[in-house]
Amino acid sequence: MRVLHVGKFCPPVKGGMETFIVDLLKYLSRSIDVDLLCVREDLRDRVIHTPFYTIYGLGRISNILSCPITLNLYGWLKALIPHYSILHVHLPHPLATLACILDNSHIPIVVHWHSDVVRQQMFSPIYEWMVTKLLDKASAVIATSPHYVKGSQLLNRFIDKVHVIPLGVDPHRIEATKEGVEKIKATFRDRPIILTVGRLVYYKGFEYLIQAMRDVDAYLIIIGIGPYYRRLERLIRYHKLESRVKLLGYVPSETLGNYYAACDLFVLPSIERSEAFGIVQVEAMYHGKPVISTDIPYSGVTWVNEHNVTGWVVPPRNPKALADAIRYLLNDVALSKRLGENGRRKFGQCFHIKYVASYIYKIYEDITANK
Q: Does 36 have pLDDT greater than 70?
A: yes
Angle of helix 279-286 versus helix 333-346 axis, rounded to 10:
110
CA proximity to 231, closest of 252, 201, 253, 254: 201
State how far the alpha carbon of 182 is from the alpha carbons of 62, 188, 259, 265, in Å. 42, 10, 10, 17
At residue 63, the pLDDT reads 66
Q: Which residues, in sequence order, are CB contacts of 147 under 8 Å at separation 6+?
A: 298, 299, 300, 302, 303
Residue 2 burial (C-beta neighbours within 10 Å; 0-12, 13-18, 19+): exposed
Domain formed by 2-170+352-369, architecture: 3-Layer(aba) Sandwich (3.40)
**Whether the Cβ atoms of residue 315 and residue 334 lie closer than 8 Å to each other:** no
At residue 353, the pLDDT reads 97
Using only C-alpha atoms, the chain has a radius of gyration, in whole angstroms, of 21
Give one DSSP letter per residue of 124-138, joined into a string: HHHHHHHHHHHHHH-
Domain formed by 171-351, architecture: 3-Layer(aba) Sandwich (3.40)
For residue range 152-197, list pLDDT tens digits in order. Answer: 989 999 999 999 999 999 999 999 999 999 999 999 999 999 999 9
**Whether the Cβ atoms of residue 291 and residue 197 lie closer than 8 Å to each other:** no
Angle of helix 253-262 versus helix 279-286 axis, rounded to 10:
70
Output the average pLDDT for the chain. Answer: 93
**Whether the Cβ atoms of residue 147 and residue 273 lie closer than 8 Å to each other:** no
Query: In the chain, which residues fall in CATH 3.40.50.2000?
Result: 2-170+352-369, 171-351
pLDDT-derived band at 122 (thresholds 50, 70, 90) equals: very low
Q: Does 284 have pLDDT greater than 90?
A: yes
The one-letter amino acid code at 278 reads G
